[in-house]
Amino acid sequence: MINIKSLKELELMRAAGNIVAETHEKLKEVIKPGISTMELDTIAEEYIRKCGAIPAFKGYEGFPASICTSINEQVVHGIPGAVILKDGDIIGIDIGAVFKGYYGDAARSYGVGTITDIAQKLIDVTKESFFKGIEYAVEGNRLSDIGFAIQQYVEQQGFSVVRDLVGHGIGTRMHEEPQVPNYGPKGKGPRLVSGMTLAIEPMVNEGRFHVKVLTDGWTVVTADGKLSAHYENTIAITKSTPEILTML
C-alpha cells in the first residue's frame, strides 16, 4: 500500500530532509585527498545527532555505519572504514536521517581532488538524470514515466542505468511502497497523486549496468570494474511541480 502523507507529515519530512541536506554540505566541505571514510562517517553522525535526529542507516538490517561511502567502482552501500580518499577518486555518499519518526534520504557523488573528464561527466549526467526524471513526477502521470526519462537521458549520454537496485517510497519507514525503477517503459505502475513521497535515486555506470555484491554482504560494485555514480533526493508529489525535500 502506498502511504499518502498529510500536511503535518510532510512538515516532519521536510525537517528530516533538511538535516540530510545540511549533513551533505558539511561533508562536501571536507572531502579531499587524505581523509578517511570513517572520518566522514563520524562527522555525519555527530551532525545528525546534534540536530536531534538519528542516523537512519546505522543498524538498519545490520548495517554498521551511519552513512554509505562508495568509491569509484562501488555503486552503493560502501561501508566507511580506514580507506583514505586519493586524488582522482570519486565517492558516492548516501545519508539518511530520522526526525520525530520520519525519514529523509539523499545521495550525492563527489570528485576527490582532480578527477578525469569522464568521471566528471558521469557525476554530472547522474545528477542531471534525476532532474530529467522528476520532470515527470507530476500528479496524474504514471510512476514508470520517471524511470523511463532517467534511462533515456543516461543512455543518450553513453552510460548505463543499474537494474538490480531501485528507488522507493519513504515516510515513517525508510523503504515503503512503491519501488521506483530508474529504467523501463513509460505509462506503467500507479498514478502519481499529491502526498506521495518518493526517494528517486539514479545509479549510473560508466560501463555496463551489471553489478555484484562483495563478500561483506553490503558493498555493490560494477561487474566490469568501471566507475559508478549515485544521486538521490526525497521528493513529494504535489498538485504542481514536485517538492524536493532534501535540498537546501
Q: Would you write out the chain's pLDDT as a tens digit for each of its 248 residues?
A: 999 999 999 999 999 999 999 999 999 999 999 999 999 999 999 999 999 999 999 999 999 999 999 999 999 999 999 999 999 999 999 999 999 999 999 999 999 999 999 999 999 999 999 999 999 999 999 999 999 999 999 999 999 999 999 999 999 999 999 999 999 999 999 999 999 999 999 999 999 999 999 999 999 999 999 999 999 999 999 999 999 999 99
147: containing domain: 7-244
Examine residue 214 and state whether it is found in any structural domain, yes or no: yes
Residue 1 maps to a domain: no
The SS3 assignment for 175 reads coil
Q: What are phi and psi of 225, to 5 degrees?
A: 75, 5
Could you give the CA distance from residue 226 to residue 151 in angstroms, rounded to a whole number? 19
43 domain residue, yes or no: yes
**Residue 132, domain CATH:** 3.90.230.10
Q: Grid coordinates in use for 158?
A: 553513453
Give the gyration radius of the chain's Cα atoms: 17
Residue 113, domain member (yes or no): yes
Domain count for the chain: 1
Per-residue cell: 13 = 519530512
Find how far residue 130's CA is from the centre of its chain: 10
Q: Which residues pair with 205 in a beta bridge?
A: 160, 228
Q: In 9-40, which positions are buried (b, 16+ CB within 10 angstroms) versus exposed (e)?
A: bbebbbbbbbbbbbbbeebeeebeeebebbbb
Q: Can you give the pLDDT at residue 40?
A: 98
Instruction: List, as one string, the DSSP characters of 23-58.
Output: HHHHHHTT-STT-BHHHHHHHHHHHHHHTT-EESST
The answer to whether position 82 is within a domain reads yes
Residue 2 in domain: no
Among residues 167, 94, 101, 164, which one has the least CA distance to residue 130?
167
What pTM value is reported for the model?
Answer: 0.98
Length of the chain (residues): 248
Does residue 139 lie in a domain region? Answer: yes
